[in-house]
Amino acid sequence: MAMEKRARFRSWWLPYALILPQIAVTLVFFFWPAGQALYQSVFIQDAFGGNLQFVGLDNFRELFSDEHYLASFKVTAVFSVLVAGLGLSVSLVLAVFADRVVRGATAYKTLLIWPYAVAPAIAGVLWVFLFNPSIGIVAYWLKRVGVEWNYLLNGDQALMLVVMAAVWKQVSYNFLFFLAGLQSIPKSLLEAAAIDGAGPVRRFATIVFPLLSPTTFFLLVVNLVYAFFDTFAIIDASTSGGPGQATEILVYKVYKDGFKGLDLGGSAAQSVILMLIVITLTVVQFRFVEKKVQY
Amino acid sequence: MSHPRFHARRWLVAAALFAFAASAQAVTEIQFWHAMTGANNDRINDFAKKFNESQTEYKVNAVFKGSYPEAMAAAIAAYRAGSAPAILQVFEVGTATMMSAKGAIKPVHQVMADAGEKFDPKIYIPAVASYYTNTKGQMLSFPFNASTTVFYYNKDAFEKAGLDPNRAPATWPEVMAAAAKIKASGASTCSFTTGWQSWVQLESFSAWHNTAFATKENGFAGSDPKLLFNGPLQVRHIGNMQDWAKKGYFTYAGRKNEPEAKFYSGECAMLTSSSAAYGTIKQNAKFKFAVAPLPYYADVAGAPQNTIIGGASLWVMGGKSKDEYKAVAKFFKFLSDPERQATWHQTTGYLPITLEAYELTKKSGFYEKNPGTDVSVKQMIVKTTDKSRGVRLGNFVQIRDIIDEELENVWGGKKTAKEGLDAAVARGDEQIAKFAKTAKE
């Protein structure tokens, strides 16, 4: 069956020519930097690239004997699970509601999509404005109701703040996909279930959610990658990894050591580790989670 | 082809091109990358413009390249690509990195000597010059914008709290007595805060008490010093601050200059931070304030000594042509002019770099009109000791981050002062050892 769908090209080179731009982009923007990272991770050098010394796996050994680096794994795990989990559930709820709205649906949708256009660093600053212990309006309200709010010293609150900012930024993206997924579910199925006496919750659990599973799976992968890689600007603009190391996730440490600290070998080694983690996670997801997905 | 008019025209074009090339060659253009924003950016552009107008041989292009770390990262990337600027402004914590980058930089004393410009390190304020000098007494970079750590207080809040607004607390116990009064009287919601905690409360604090921050003359005499800031004096001070934080006298407000906003908004009545905050505070504060020397502990022998500089200096990059270095030397000579230095000091709040600029400012009556603006200078114009010259460490950016992290653990009550400082010293030593490996000859 599948064979019939295959397109046939008359010349052997045309298909390759058509994918060439994509391959070129991947090579230049993915394989080349990744190769550079691998190369630099086995060297130490001064900031200007002088005094290049081959050190083998010393950079990695150093990282794994550093308890603070190991602690940053825990922070990253908590952060990513929270960002992906909250990001997916909040946007699913929003999508389900937006799907049911009859009047002004476009307005709701537009407003919900807006945050996606905001740059991560700006998102971080926006949330800092709201929650800053001395100038933030939300911080002011919290203090009035007796909450001791100071994310500059309280690590849990700082983590909460960056999770909120990261989730807020990603909800729009998830929302779009969920909404599209919801709209492609045949209405006849839902109506048939309704006639059989299934209430909204039951219809969601037995029909909508399983049919959404391809979308959910795709978003899970995308959100985890987002939490791992794209959130460092939010953290840099809001907490700079502090207080202590409460919000220092792996990718932020890569940026800090590499660009601010100019320790290229150590930073490259960290990015190689990060790369391995994400590759492993993605493989695991495709092997185990995808089995539960119904296409 | 043999038409005579055609020939003539070709000759004309060639001659014109030649003339253009010759005139273009006559002007040596150099790039100057800096990280100055706002009013300071205008001043730098003004310097470059005036220099370019003052002569016809050289042209300096001042380019803003983002924050200090960003400008430095950009210059390093440019150096690797073979297009580094001739002059780069580097913040003080980047000094060790620049010094160890042999070949990538050209020491200023050499640039000046090659160009035949007179260059006497003795005209500079000692604490400033010595920071950028190697063990042989040669100046490696050109001191430019240097600030130091001072104490600011809100006179109105002092009055409200029943304190004498014309007498600044001189010692830390006095600061805390004042803080207690301010809190008890409700004169302001926050009594005391500090900017740049590592620089003010540990680096400058140690020098002010003539106490070592690290071995090997705080890193000036070798690239592999051991950190010493977990000594009894520092532990005592950080422990006191933790206690004050618990009692609500000290409010932690951030790692960099965020606490300055808490002061000029009127929220905090006392602040320790950079002398370069003066301009911003003056612009924003809607109350009377004053600048005073950094507090100290009176029972420590040798205190007060001198405080440590912050800010940046100008580095000359390697691999440029002889003409370009000549242009750099001429520009530095232009910047060293006492009149220019004095204006820079008066308009920015940075230190006057030369003693002559200080004398000029004093004579002009600037300090009487703007009381407190000479506090930073007075803190600096003393003969420095091996323990007070400054702190110069490899991977200093990371070490400051580590100190910030550990101090936050102390303020938050997660660690005692001793535990926090011990951890910071141990982690910092690892960073220095790592740097020493890449800095080896």
For chain A, state the CA radius of gyration. 23
Q: What distance in Å separates the CA atoms of residue B345 and residue B351, rounded to the nearest whole number?
A: 6
Would you state the pLDDT for residue A247? Answer: 93
Chain B residues whose C-beta is within 8 A of a chain A C-beta are 69, 72-73, 76, 79-80, 97, 100-104, 252-255, 261-262, 265, 267, 395, 397-398, 401, 404-406, 408-409, 411-412, 414, 427, 430, 434, 437-440
| Residue B102: closest CA among A263, A54, A51, A44 | A51
Question: What average pLDDT does the structure give for chain B?
Answer: 89
Number of H helices, E strands in chain A: 15, 2
pLDDT digits (tens, 9 = 90+) for A66-112: 888 999 999 999 999 999 999 999 999 999 888 887 788 888 888 88
Distance from CA of A151 to the nearest CA of B (A): 10
Distance from CA of A229 to the nearest CA of B (A): 20
- DSSP classification of residue B302: T
- DSSP classification of residue B276: G
Q: How confident is the model at residue B294 (pLDDT cuts 50, 70, 90)?
A: very high
- DSSP classification of residue B296: B
| Residue B276: closest CA among B295, B296, B256 | B256
3-state secondary structure of B119: coil
Q: How confident is the model at residue A1 (pLDDT cuts 50, 70, 90)?
A: very low
| Burial category of B25 from C-beta neighbours within 10 Å (exposed 0-12, middle 13-18, buried 19 and up) | exposed
8 Å CB contact of B438 and A53: yes
Give the CA distances from residue B22 to residues B18, B26, B53, in Å, rounded to whole numbers and listed in that order. Answer: 6, 6, 20
Would you tell me how many other CB atoms lie within 10 Å of the CB of residue B2?
5
Number of H helices, E strands in chain B: 21, 8
Chain A residues whose C-beta is within 8 A of a chain B C-beta are 44-51, 53, 62, 66, 68, 133-135, 152-155, 240-245, 256-257, 259-263, 266
Of B348 and B16, more confident? B348
| Residue B118: closest CA among B139, B145, B92 | B139
pLDDT digits (tens, 9 = 90+) for B342-401: 988 888 878 888 889 999 999 999 998 888 888 998 898 888 888 998 899 988 988 999
Q: What distance in Å separates the CA atoms of residue A199 and residue A137, rounded to the nearest whole number?
A: 41
Would you state the pLDDT for residue B361? Answer: 93
B69 vs A contacts (CB less than 8 Å): 259-260
What lies within 8 Å, CB to CB, of B362 at 6+ separation is B374
First-to-final CA distance of chain A:
16
8 Å CB contact of A263 and B406: no
Residue in the block written with tokens 């990513």:
A80
| Residue A232: closest CA among A175, A276, A271 | A271
What lies within 8 Å, CB to CB, of B272 at 6+ separation is B149, B150, B151, B152, B192, B194, B195, B200, B201, B294, B295
Q: Residue B20 above 60 pLDDT?
A: no
Distance from CA of B356 to the nearest CA of A (A): 36
Would you state the pLDDT for residue B440? Answer: 62
Structural tokens at position B158: 């002092």
Q: What distance in Å separates the CA atoms of residue B150 and residue A27, rounded to the nearest whole number?
A: 53
Q: In chain B, what are the domains?
A: 4-146+310-368 (3.40.190.10), 147-308+382-439 (3.40.190.10)
Structural tokens at position B186: 């409700």
pLDDT digits (tens, 9 = 90+) for A134-156: 778 998 899 889 888 888 889 99
Q: At what angle do helices B355-363 and B338-348 cross, to 10 degrees?
A: 70
Contact of B314 with B324, CB cutoff 8 Å: no
pLDDT digits (tens, 9 = 90+) for A34-69: 999 999 999 988 888 777 889 889 999 989 988 889
8 Å CB contact of B411 and A153: yes
Average pLDDT of B282-297? Answer: 93
A243 vs B contacts (CB less than 8 Å): 405, 408-409, 411-412
- Pairs of CB atoms within 8 A across A/B: 91
Compute the C-alpha angle A50/A52/A55, nearest 5°. 155
Distance from CA of A261 to the nearest CA of B (A): 6
Q: Residue B3 above 60 pLDDT?
A: no
Helix (H) or strand (E) holding B314: strand B309-316
Would you state the pLDDT for residue A24? Answer: 95
A53 vs B contacts (CB less than 8 Å): 437-438
Average pLDDT of A178-201? Answer: 90
CATH architecture, domain A60-292:
Orthogonal Bundle (1.10)
8 Å CB contact of B102 and A50: yes
Would you state the pLDDT for residue B299? Answer: 95
pLDDT digits (tens, 9 = 90+) for A116-127: 888 888 888 899
Distance from CA of A284 to the nearest CA of B (A): 35
Q: Residue B176 above 50 pLDDT?
A: yes
Give the CA distances from residue A77 to residues A71, A123, A245, in Å, rounded to whole numbers and listed in that order. Answer: 10, 22, 14
Three-state DSSP string of B210-271:
CCCCEHHHHCCCCCCCCECCCCHHHHHHHHHHHHHHHHCCECCCCCCCHHHHHHHCCCEEEE
Average pLDDT of B186-212? Answer: 95
Average pLDDT of B279-299? Answer: 92
Question: What average pLDDT does the structure give for chain A?
Answer: 88
Q: What is the ipTM of this complex?
A: 0.82
Q: What distance in Å separates the CA atoms of residue A247 and residue A252, rounded to the nearest whole number?
A: 9
| Residue A131: closest CA among A160, A167, A100 | A160
Structural tokens at position B246: 């618990």
Average pLDDT of B144-159? Answer: 94
Phi, psi dihedral angles at B392 (to 5 degrees): -130, 110
pLDDT digits (tens, 9 = 90+) for A226-259: 999 889 889 988 888 889 889 999 999 998 888 8
Would you state the pLDDT for residue B2? Answer: 44
Structural tokens at position A214: 């391809």
What lies within 8 Å, CB to CB, of B411 at 6+ separation is A153, A243, B241, B242, B245, B250, B252
8 Å CB contact of A243 and B412: yes
Q: How confident is the model at residue B130 (pLDDT cuts 50, 70, 90)?
A: confident
Distance from CA of A211 to the nearest CA of B (A): 47
Q: What distance in Å separates the CA atoms of residue B331 and residue B412, rounded to the nearest whole number?
A: 48
